Amino acid sequence: MATTIAVLSQKGGTGKTTTVRTLTDVFRRIGLATLAVDLDPQGNLSDYLDVDPSAEPTVGDVLTGRAKAADAIHDDVLPANLGLAEAELTLGGKMGRELTLRKALREVTDGYDVVLIDCPPALGLLTVNALVAADWALLSAEAQYFAMQGVEQALEVIELARDNLNPGLEWLGVVLNIADMRTRHSREAYDSLREHFGEKLVEQTIRSSIAYAESAERALSIVDYRPDLGLDYLLVADELLRRLDLRGARRRLKPLIEAASNGHKPDA
């Protein structure tokens, strides 16, 4: 049975989708069969992972019952497009609507080690579906003044999902994205999160850089495009694997961390 992680944020622009894309890449490199589920109608994760824009069926078809999840997986990606926004409206009128994704994924998760769900940048029905389907929730926060407020709002939704629909749901932690730790503003955001959430804050931050967008345009992983920046994600992945107690995966990750620390691509 796969470990399912919903990655969420209460607003856009926190680096959430880039995090899901890169963690998917890293996990696959170390031999973890990883399914990426795009639950954002913008479909950015699907684009990042090179799914054909015309690919059908999609996650929207799965949620509305027009397709099985197994038929909507394309190269280990369950993609989304703008049709997902319409599917969400349709879903809103159904009984048991919060359970739809969990039921759909049951038939496919046995074939994977990890399922990563990229939630939309809002705490609505699609995000609740992700949380009900997940074992773990990982929060993405931007290094800015309202970071703690955003995390607290997301935690409230996690608590509601756990109390009413998914008692096994656990909080994996929070990753601070788009951070420039040379600035007082970012350092204060980090310190505030550390003070309030302690070890739930992943120690490694993700640095702010235009290189993430550049790597996406070139269809290259940041781990290959800029190993120095890719190292941030490798260290985050290592911390998450430690929390998940996936020791074998951590051992396989170690050579990638060493290569990136020396400024080399992982296969160098």
pLDDT in tens, 164-196: 999 999 999 999 888 777 788 788 878 888 888
Say if residues 60 and 81 touch (Cβ distance below 8 Å): yes
Share of the chain above pLDDT 90, in %: 72
At 268 the pLDDT is 46
CATH number for the domain spanning 154: value is: 3.40.50.300
Residue 267 domain-assigned (yes or no):
no
pLDDT digits (tens, 9 = 90+) for 139-160: 998 877 677 788 888 999 999 9
Residue 199 domain-assigned (yes or no):
yes
Residue 266 domain-assigned (yes or no):
no
Say if residues 27 and 246 touch (Cβ distance below 8 Å): no
At 73 the pLDDT is 98
Domain containing 250: what range? 3-261
pTM, rounded to two decimals:
0.94
Residue 173 domain-assigned (yes or no):
yes
Question: Into how many domains does the chain fold?
Answer: 1
Residue 143 domain-assigned (yes or no):
yes
In angstroms, the CA 232 to CA 222 distance is 10
In angstroms, the CA 190 to CA 179 distance is 9
Residue 222 domain-assigned (yes or no):
yes
In angstroms, the CA 73 to CA 179 distance is 33
Residue 268 domain-assigned (yes or no):
no
